[in-house]
A = this chain, B = another copy of it.
Amino acid sequence: MTNSTAQDIAKAAKVAFEESQLTSSDERIKALHEIKNALELNKAEILRANEEDLVAAKQEVDAGRMSESLLKRLDLNKGDKWDSMLQGVLDLDDELELYRVSCPIGVLLVIFEARPEVVVNIASLAIKSGNAAILKGGKESNRTASLLSKAISAGLAKTALPSTYVQTIQTRAEVSSLLELDQYIDLVIPRGSNSLVRNIQNSTRIPVMGHADGLCSVYLDEHADLEKSVRIAVDSKTDYPSACNSAETLILHDRVVRSIWPSVANALLAANVKLLCDPKSLEALKESTPHSKFQTHVFPSEPSSYTTEHLDLTISVVVVPSLSAAIQWINSHSSHHTDSIVTESQETASAFCRGVDSAGTFVNASTRFADGFRYGFGTEVGISTGRIHARGPVGLEGLVIYKYMLRSKAQSGHVVGEFGTGKKQYKHNKISATTVPF
């Protein structure tokens, strides 16, 4: 298979996923039933094919080219494999209790640039959540960070926690070495520029929690309110331009280009924002009474404008013909951080929130609200644009995982061999317990 074929398959899957987001759950249930039917219908043929696979595998095993254990897993007709495959059956027992207990992840490696307060934020979060931490700040905040670290060490020294519970390192070379040690380090949390995060993601097998880009957008829908459009566009861009949750792109529905857009543009220009416009949005500004800053602050956009995290008073502007075009634009250009719609239509808002595949989908609110403090999570670990473990602003719970504790209170312990067809059956009653009794 060529790379382009793989690309086709992966792309098709992504498109199918995005499309399916608007399919009803009834349709999913129907799909499950239809598949079960098709399997039942072809059971004989499938089991015959499985027989052939087994015969071929047996020869491989006899020739020493395949392991016995692999062969065993191949048999689809063994025991109740076929039935349990079809049913996904639920199958604990009296005196056998299963608990799922929250616990820390382990060792965190936190790498940050500039913001020295991260040292204190993360050290506190690590201690609260029970994780050990290794901290590496940027050289630009070295003086501040080393004093903060000293204070943390002084505090720790007065407790029973190990002195190596929170360690600080200084150089980039150290980071490279640490990124190789996946036997000790469980999670890397980079907080800084795109290039920093991207470099880290490319050079470690350790899971990385964070975001490389904060490419957020505001979409002014055909049912947008003028005042809301102005306020939300201006706040999303200008409240703190260097933050990751600032808007970098303004998306305009075709129908608002001549109505709402000129007022929004004027408000942005008044706030000293540079506008990088596509042909339609640029044309509309030329046609309306041009703002005094038109010559100095309005420019034609380039394709790269829409994939650039400006981080300053610059915003890229693009016109789309429909809601679904806006959703597609965002899904293919945004960094899946936070995207906001301005609309008076409940239906449009709902479709936007379901269809846009970002950690935050907002209605009539500034993208700047995407923040752990504002969400009420307390100190923030960072904002994750990943799709597993934690998404969006991450607080304490992002530093926690769980383990399973199983306890037998039976006379002679519990063994699996006693369960199965014609033997003991699993009960799976829910136990109410506020604390783990062991």
A5 CA to B180 CA, complexed, in Å: 13
Contact of A92 among B17, B187, B374 (CB under 8 A): B374
Residue of B nearest to A66 (CB): B140
Residues in B neighbouring A325, C-beta threshold 8 A: none
Question: Is B205 in contact with A201, judged by CB distance below 8 angstroms?
Answer: yes
Q: Which residues of B contact A330 (CB under 8 A)?
A: none
Q: Given A14-B132, A50-B143, are A438 and B346 also a contact pair (CB < 8 Å)?
A: yes
A365 cross-chain contacts in B, Cβ below 8 A: 96, 406-408, 413-415
Asked whether, in the complex, the Cβ of A38 is within 8 Å of the Cβ of B167, the reply is no
Q: How far is the CB of A192 from chain B (nearest CB, A)?
A: 9
Please tell me if the beta carbons of A374 and B416 are within 8 angstroms of each other in the complex: yes
Greatest chain B CB density within 10 A among A131, A169, A311, A388 is at A388
Candidates B28, B53, B184; contact of A161 at CB < 8 Å: B28
Q: Are A69 and B14 in contact (CB under 8 A)?
A: no
Is A62 positioned at the interface, with any CB of B under 8 Å from its CB? no
Stretch at the interface among A81-89, A256-264, A274-282, A283-291: A81-89
Question: Within the oligomer, what is the number of copies of this chain?
Answer: 2
- Which of B141, B377, B419 is within 8 Å of A53, CB to CB? B141
Find out whether the CB atom of B35 lies under 8 angstroms from the CB atom of A242: no
Verify if A98 is at the interface (C-beta below 8 Å from B): yes
Across the interface, do A134 and B10 meet the contact criterion of CB distance under 8 Å? yes
| Cα distance, A152 to B42, chains bound together (Å) | 11
CB atoms of A228 and B412 under 8 A apart: yes
Across the interface, A31 reaches (CB within 8 A) one of B89, B120, B159, namely B159
* Closest CB in chain B relative to A219 CB, distance in Å: 13
Contacts of A185 in B (CB 8 A): 10, 13-14
User: Is there a chain B Cβ closer than 8 Å to A324's Cβ?
Assistant: no
Residues from chain B with a CB closer than 8 A to the CB of A433 are none
- Asked if residues A366 and B415 are in contact (CB atoms below 8 Å), the reply is yes
- Interface membership of A295, Cβ < 8 A: no
Q: Are A140 and B388 in contact (CB under 8 A)?
A: no
Which chain B residues border A412 with CB–CB below 8 Å? 225, 227-228, 231
The answer to whether the Cβ of A57 comes within 8 Å of any Cβ in the partner chain is: yes
With both chains docked as a complex, state the minimum distance between the C-beta of A355 and any C-beta of chain B, in angstroms. Answer: 11
14 residue pairs from A and B, CB less than 8 Å apart: A7-B181, A15-B162, A17-B107, A31-B158, A34-B156, A38-B151, A39-B155, A69-B242, A74-B115, A96-B365, A186-B387, A231-B413, A370-B404, A376-B426
Partner of A178, one of B9, B89, B152, B241: B9
A117 partner residues in chain B, CB cutoff 8 A: 76, 81-82, 85
**Cα of A49 to Cα of B142 in the assembled complex, Å:** 9
Q: Mark A27-39, 1 if CB is under 8 A from B, else 0.
A: 1101111111111
Q: Please determine whether A104 and B17 come into contact, CB atoms closer than 8 angstroms.
A: yes
